[in-house]
């Protein structure tokens, strides 16, 4: 057998980060012909007039073009696989799924330095260990240096020296390490890497005693831990405050005790520092984070530590879903319904769905947790593809769910978006020492500026949208194309000098509430305020004092925070979902409303939620007010079933845009018509369009789309292939920008 291959030409096939779906063949130059070149290793190769970094996908291939036309590769970067078989299989799966180039998928899976050819090992060789006196000292005694105390505590957990890289990825600085050294509490070693071994094979993985679980939690933990090592997907449906996070922690403990690793996906880390701290406090193995707030070096370190098996737990956002692990034993996807798991451009994948695929490939369980599961996941649970576990009761001190009132504002005159009666309810709460959270899902001062004389409105010159009025700093700002202009002093059309803001955003609500409640502070939380570094931490610290105050903000307030003092939640604009052009509008509204309501009364006081609405008698809203998300989602599922929309069908969208509307529509119409003879023969496949996108004109470009819907995945992908082939041959292909989105999460 071997001799057969030995005669083959030394040709390798390489995946390159270029927008072509095929791989490229290169010949090994004579000096490299005896080099062992593993699959998944990086190489540098000439491509057109550049040099690119690619990954070896196959060896000893028979090239498609004559041998003498092949170019030699330039350099071998890795002497071992950078991506193992599983990672390569995952990349190929994803490339097939999104009909994209495997080279671009692989490039997306790598941290930037590796993409550029940087060495794939941790270079740091400094190690730290607590000294005798460092072990004897109670870190609590170091009042004046809390970070150093924390570092000392981390070192005390280990009997062996800990790599400085590891400590840095846990959030400690070199200055803090040196400070402990100066105090004689820690010492540095310069040792070779093998000494360190795998940190999480230490006999105890725990750094604190876990909580005593209630019966429901025990049941969930034993169900999941009973199936470690198997590719089972669990839906953990549990109301907010039902102890899901505690369940994750105890299941993770079981996995860590087997010496294996855990991936935890969360929607947005920056907004939930509390959760990360809970994980770090619980375990003595390294708990790392991976998210967009890290710099390239930090991301690379976390990636390498996970790959080398040195990170016990990796908590990360969407992109962490493709991180390699030495020995992955469990994936947890928290808030699985969250829209941020879907990548919106480039390689369009869902981190949740990718987690499920990885679980299958690696035979490891995947736990999807949510108080408000997505309809897709609920459908999978109903169909018994996922195992459905429930936590129906709140635990601990926050036993009762809040009462939810639908506050009728039909025919009522609102002051800047809030009803006078509601202001009174808020005041009473503040007087009783409670905190109030006011939720309005629009940032800025007002969604538009208007002239009451002639009807002029602040339309964006580039979009089918209004420009939002902002006060800080003063401007008109289009949230769709980001264009900004000065606030006009008079009407550009009739020169009337009185222009009025229409509607309310967070800034205006902040102002209104400040005027209404002079005795209490009002804090605003939205993208404009939270983008300032450390702002969220500061705010949380202030809110945790439980002094009465008002928090006003966007959905950022709804995500996973624990506000112990908030006993009243006010939802100012609940009706948006009813008017959404997206069939997921109502689902999102129900999830958001339930999540926001879950912020109320998580401790001691029973909470109360008041929802301003023009539809107090709407049956769906009423279900949400009764905390019946189950029945709410069941009703929505019925509707989807009747209309044959996902999850009762599979969907893909081809979007296209150009600077002229007839260019896009002509292009898409051509493609649909040319494909029709084939697509009409594919059983169950329905091709609709082209139709204008929900906002047709955006930043001066016209957007249209084609929908593909089918009851099975196979034929759907057949249809997609057919359309893409025609697109790639279409002469307008270069003038029109297009993209494919399989399982789109928005239209
Ligand atoms: P969820 O993730 O479902 O919102 P958490 O796990 O955060 O719920 O639990 C809510 C609160 O209850 C937390 O403060 C947590 O520490 C506490 N808690 C969870 N499980 C228990 C338990 N078995 N006994 C006592 N307190 C618990
Ligand atoms: Zn006017
Ligand atoms: Zn715009």
What ipTM did this prediction achieve?
0.97
Average pLDDT over residues 188-216: 70
**482 CA → ligand 3 middle, Å:** 6
Sort strands 566-571 and 435-439 into parallel, antiparallel or unpaired. parallel
Q: Report which ligand 1 atom has the smallest distance to the Cα of 214.
A: 23
472 three-state secondary structure: coil
**147 CA → ligand 1 middle, Å:** 27
Ligand-binding annotation for 722, yes or no, is no
- The residue whose two tokens read 């490891």 is 364
CB 650 within 8 A of CB 709: yes
Is pLDDT above 90 for 4?
Answer: no
Q: Of 511-525, 554-568, 575-589, which one has max mean pLDDT?
A: 511-525
Is pLDDT above 70 for 604?
Answer: no
Query: What are the DSSP calls for 513-548, one per residue?
Result: HHHH-TTS-EEEESHHHHTSTTHHHHHHHHHHT--S
Q: Nearest residue CA, atom 15 of ligand 1?
A: 243
**Beta-bridge partner residues of 570:** 438, 610
d(CA 683, CA 256): 47
553 three-state secondary structure: strand
Ligand-binding annotation for 364, yes or no, is no
215-391 matches 403-445+504-640 in fold: yes
Average pLDDT over residues 567-575: 90
CB 155 within 8 A of CB 129: yes
Cβ-based neighbour number of residue 452 at 10 Å: 12
Token reading at 462: 């580039």
d(CA 634, CA 465): 34
Is pLDDT above 60 for 589?
Answer: yes
**450 CA → ligand 2 middle, Å:** 8
Report which bound ligand comes closest to the CA of 456: 2
For the stretch 681-692, what's the b/e string if a residue is b when 16 or more beta carbons lie within 10 angstroms of its beta carbon? ebeebbbebbeb
Average pLDDT over residues 654-665: 96
Architecture of 650-742 per CATH?
Answer: 2-Layer Sandwich (3.30)
Q: pLDDT over 70 for what percent of the chain?
A: 94
Does the C-beta of 390 come closer than 6 Å to ligand 1? no
d(CA 74, CA 51): 8
41 burial type by CB count under 10 A (0-12 exposed, 13-18 middle, 19+ buried): buried
d(CA 510, CA 634): 37
The superfamily CATH assigns to domain 11-116 is PriA, 3(prime) DNA-binding domain (3.40.1440.60)
Q: Average pLDDT over the chain, rounded to whole?
A: 90
Q: What is the band of 271 on the pLDDT scale with cuts at 50, 70, 90?
A: low
d(CA 636, CA 630): 10
pLDDT tens sequence across 409-449: 998 888 889 999 999 999 999 999 999 999 998 999 999 99
Q: How far is CA 217 from CA 244, 250, 389, 636, in A?
A: 8, 10, 10, 29
d(CA 251, CA 259): 13
Global pTM? 0.87
470 three-state secondary structure: strand
Q: How far is CA 738 from CA 358, 656, 703, in A?
A: 29, 4, 9
727 three-state secondary structure: helix
d(CA 191, CA 131): 16
d(CA 262, CA 366): 10
Does the C-beta of 274 come closer than 6 Å to ligand 1? no
- The residue whose two tokens read 């893909």 is 652
The H or E element that residue 134 is part of is helix 132-136
The pLDDT score that the predictor gives to residue 191 is 56
Does the C-beta of 396 come closer than 6 Å to ligand 1? yes
In angstroms, the first-to-last Cα distance of the chain is: 53
For the stretch 559-580, what's the b/e string if a residue is b when 16 or more beta carbons lie within 10 angstroms of its beta carbon? bbbbbbbbbbbbbbbbbebeeb
d(CA 485, CA 475): 6
Is pLDDT above 70 for 601?
Answer: no
- The residue whose two tokens read 């079981």 is 254
Ligand-binding annotation for 460, yes or no, is yes
CB 548 within 8 A of CB 430: yes
The residues spanned by each domain of the chain are 11-116, 124-192, 215-391, 403-445+504-640, 650-742
Q: pLDDT over 90 for what percent of the chain?
A: 69
For residue 332, the Cα-to-chain-centroid distance in whole angstroms is: 13
**Where does 215-391 sit in CATH, by number?**
3.40.50.300
**545 CA → ligand 1 middle, Å:** 20
Architecture of 403-445+504-640 per CATH?
Answer: 3-Layer(aba) Sandwich (3.40)
């Amino acid at each position: 057998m071997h001799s057969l291959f030995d005669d083959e030409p030394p040709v390798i096939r390489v995946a390159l980060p270029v927008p072509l779906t095929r791989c490229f063949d290169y010949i090994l130059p004579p000096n490299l012909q005896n080099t062992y070149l593993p699959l998944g290793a990086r190489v540098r190769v000439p491509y057109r007039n550049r040099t690119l970094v690619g990954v070896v996908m196959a060896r000893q291939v028979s090239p498609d073009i004559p041998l003498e036309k092949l170019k030699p590769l330039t350099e071998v970067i890795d002497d071992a696989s950078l991506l193992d078989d599983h990672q390569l299989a995952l990349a190929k799966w994803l490339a097939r799924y999104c009909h994209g180039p495997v080279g671009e998928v692989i490039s997306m899976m790598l941290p930037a330095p590796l993409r550029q050819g940087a060495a794939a090992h941790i270079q740091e060789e400094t190690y730290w260990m607590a000294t005798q006196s460092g072990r004897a000292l109670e870190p609590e005694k170091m009042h004046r240096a809390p970070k150093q105390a924390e570092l000392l505590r981390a070192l005390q957990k280990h009997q062996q020296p800990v790599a400085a890289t590891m400590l840095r990825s846990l959030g400690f600085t070199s200055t803090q390490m040196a400070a402990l050294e100066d105090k004689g509490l820690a010492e540095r070693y310069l040792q070779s890497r093998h000494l360190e071994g795998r940190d999480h094979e230490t006999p105890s993985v725990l750094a604190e005693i876990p909580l005593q679980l209630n019966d429901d939690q025990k049941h969930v933990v034993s169900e999941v831990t009973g199936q470690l090592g198997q590719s089972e997907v669990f839906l953990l449906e549990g109301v907010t405050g039902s102890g899901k996070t505690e369940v994750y922690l105890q299941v993770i403990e079981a996995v860590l005790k087997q010496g294996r690793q855990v991936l935890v996906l969360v929607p947005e880390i920056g907004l939930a520092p509390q959760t990360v701290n809970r994980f770090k406090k619980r375990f003595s193995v390294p708990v790392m984070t991976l998210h967009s707030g890290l710099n390239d070096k930090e991301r690379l370190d976390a990636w390498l530590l996970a790959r080398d098996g040195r990170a016990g737990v990796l908590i990360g956002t969407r992109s962490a879903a493709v991180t390699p692990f030495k020995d992955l034993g469990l994936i947890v996807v928290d808030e699985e319904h969250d829209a941020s798991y879907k990548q919106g451009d480039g390689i369009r994948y869902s981190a949740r769905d990718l987690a499920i695929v990885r679980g299958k490939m690696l035979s490891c369980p995947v736990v999807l947790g949510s108080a408000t599961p997505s309809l897709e996941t609920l459908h999978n649970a109903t169909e018994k593809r996922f195992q459905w576990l429930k936590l129906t009761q709140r635990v601990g001190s926050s036993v009762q769910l809040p009462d939810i009132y639908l506050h009728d504002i039909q025919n009522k005159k609102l002051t800047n978006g809030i009803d006078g009666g509601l202001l009174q309810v808020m005041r009473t709460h503040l007087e009783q020492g409670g905190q109030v959270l006011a939720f309005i899902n629009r940032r800025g001062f007002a969604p538009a500026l208007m002239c009451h004389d002639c009807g002029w409105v602040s339309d964006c010159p580039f979009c089918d949208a209004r420009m939002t009025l902002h006060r800080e700093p003063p401007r008109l700002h289009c949230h769709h194309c980001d264009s900004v202009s000065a606030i006009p002093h008079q009407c550009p059309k009739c020169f009337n000098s009185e222009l009025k803001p229409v509607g309310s955003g967070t800034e205006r609500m902040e102002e209104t509430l400040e005027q209404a409640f002079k005795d209490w502070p009002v804090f605003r939380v939205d993208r404009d305020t939270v983008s300032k570094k450390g702002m969220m931490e500061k705010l949380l610290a202030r809110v945790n004092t439980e002094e009465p105050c008002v928090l006003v903000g966007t959905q950022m307030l709804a995500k996973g925070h624990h506000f112990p003092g908030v006993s009243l939640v006010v939802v100012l604009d609940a009706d948006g979902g009813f008017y959404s052009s997206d069939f997921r509008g109502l689902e999102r509204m129900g999830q958001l409303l339930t999540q926001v309501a879950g912020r109320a009364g998580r401790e001691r006081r029973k909470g109360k939620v008041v929802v301003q609405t023009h539809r107090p008698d709407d049956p769906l809203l009423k279900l949400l007010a009764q905390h019946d998300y189950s029945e709410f989602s069941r009703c929505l599922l019925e509707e989807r079933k009747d209309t044959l929309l996902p999850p009762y069908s599979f969907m893909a969208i081809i979007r296209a845009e150009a600077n002229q509307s007839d260019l896009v529509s002509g292009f898409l119409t051509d493609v649909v018509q040319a494909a029709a003879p084939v697509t009409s023969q594919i059983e169950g496949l329905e091709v609709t369009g082209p139709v204008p996108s929900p906002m047709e004109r955006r930043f001066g470009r016209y957007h249209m789309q084609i929908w593909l819907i089918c009851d099975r995945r196979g034929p759907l992908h057949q249809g997609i292939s057919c359309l893409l082939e025609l697109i790639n041959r279409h002469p307008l292909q270069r003038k029109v920008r297009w993209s494919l989105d399989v399982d789109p999460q928005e239209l």
